[in-house]
Amino acid sequence: MNHPDLTRKKRRTVWLLSLLVLGMFGFGFALVPLYDLLCEATGIQSVNIRTAADNKTAYAAGQPEINKSRFVTIKFDASVHPNLPWEFAPVVRNMRVNPGKEYLVNFAAHNRSSSQITSQAIPSVAPWQATGFLNKLECFCFQQQTLAGDESVEMPLRFVISPELPAEINSITLSYSLLKLENETAVIQEKKRS
């Protein structure tokens, strides 16, 4: 093999590797929009959850008219991560609601352990198409919940279903998964001491 052929092959290899790196870089930027599209297409809940202030502002801006002729069944579900020694359940499992009317429901939580534990509730709505039409005005999921050992509490959820909810959706399931939050501050302070 002569020297010019070897140089040409090396240049081609460098060129192909450069294209590969550029392609990987572009793919990295495309991941977020692709993930959002995948979540939307499959009905997977993404991390895009509106805050309490957003919901209150949207609700107050155009107080929706109550649709008394339509009923939607709301089912409430709750689950607790295995490493969290809490009991957690909706006080009411099902409600028939009129779109546009504000409702209040409570979820009961009990810390079965003898020590203080902090948790965070993660909401999920099914079918996913109803997500934008279920407006949580006040929700325990907006903040972390801390319970002392053997403490019980009822946590409020104030919500309204938008009258714009598509007619084919007549049942919505609102699920909450309760996760234990580790005390990261204490861990960081302990590491600094050592």
| Residue 191's pLDDT band (cuts 50, 70, 90) | very low
Maximum alpha-carbon separation in the chain: 86
Residue 125 is assigned to a structural domain of this protein: yes
Among 36-45, 103-112, 139-148, where is mean pLDDT lowest? 36-45
Residue 177 is assigned to a structural domain of this protein: yes
Instruction: In whole angstroms, give the CA distance from residue 73 to residue 165.
Output: 12
Same domain, 11 and 90: no
Same domain, 88 and 146: yes
Instruction: In whole angstroms, give the CA distance from residue 140 to residue 120.
Output: 9
Please give the tally of structural domains in the chain.
2
**CATH code assigned at 108:** 2.60.370.10
Same domain, 58 and 133: yes
Residue 178 has pLDDT above 80, yes or no: yes
Q: What is the mean pLDDT of residues 130-158?
A: 93
Model confidence, pTM: 0.64
**Token representation of residue 23:** 């392609």
**Token representation of residue 27:** 């793919």
Give the pLDDT of residue 61: 56
Same domain, 76 and 135: yes
pLDDT tens for each residue of 63-80: 668 888 999 999 999 999
Same domain, 113 and 36: no
- Which residues are within 8 A (CB) of 172 and not within 5 positions of it... i.e. 6 or more apart? 72, 73, 74, 75, 125, 126, 127, 130, 134, 161
Same domain, 85 and 5: no
Same domain, 172 and 106: yes
Same domain, 126 and 150: yes
Residue 129 is assigned to a structural domain of this protein: yes
Q: What is the mean pLDDT of residues 21-40?
A: 79
Same domain, 74 and 24: no
Same domain, 1 and 64: no
Residue 122 has pLDDT above 90, yes or no: yes
Residue 105 has pLDDT above 60, yes or no: yes
Residue-averaged pLDDT of the chain: 83
Residue 32 is assigned to a structural domain of this protein: yes
Instruction: In whole angstroms, give the CA distance from residue 121 to residue 84.
Output: 12
Residue-number span of the structural domain to which 32 is assigned: 1-42
Same domain, 67 and 141: yes
Instruction: In whole angstroms, give the CA distance from residue 100 to residue 170.
Output: 14
Same domain, 131 and 110: yes
Give the pLDDT of residue 6: 74
Q: What is the mean pLDDT of residues 142-160?
A: 94
Residue 47 is assigned to a structural domain of this protein: no
Cα first-last separation, the chain: 62
